[in-house]
Homo-oligomer: A and B are copies of this chain.
């Protein structure tokens, strides 16, 4: 029953504190797809450019892509032309691009909040 290294609780020196923006995978996928279309496995490999050390779990990635499609934020089609196993190739829609814009604004607001936090933290360090 010991909490793992990414558990909610952390003894000061023992476990790693890892600050993440929640649902960051969603805007990351939209940005990658705005740059160019791609399939799940491809996106899985391109994601670390944006998410860094925190790798995205593949099971949830495929589920997220289908959820995005259900909402009309991306579209997909089977690509059997290219070699290897069949791939589902995703592309961003106009709606998806608009949501990405909203995410960018939201992320800027989040940056400001964290900036204020860090400034206040540094004040009395």
Contacts and interface: CB of A to CB of B under 8 A. Distances in A.
A55 interface: no
A21 B23 contact: no
Interface of A: 8-13, 17-24, 27-28, 31, 34-35, 50-52, 67, 71-73, 95-96, 98-100, 102-111, 113-118, 120-121, 124
A98 B15 CA distance: 12
Given A117-B27, A117-B28, A107 B71 contact: no
- Copies of this protein in the complex: 2
Nearest to A8: B23
A111 B113 contact: no
Contact of A67 (B9, B113, B120): B9
Q: Is the interface of A mostly helix, strand, loop or mixed?
A: helix
Contacts of A102: 10, 12, 17
B111 A17 contact: no
A12 B50 contact: no
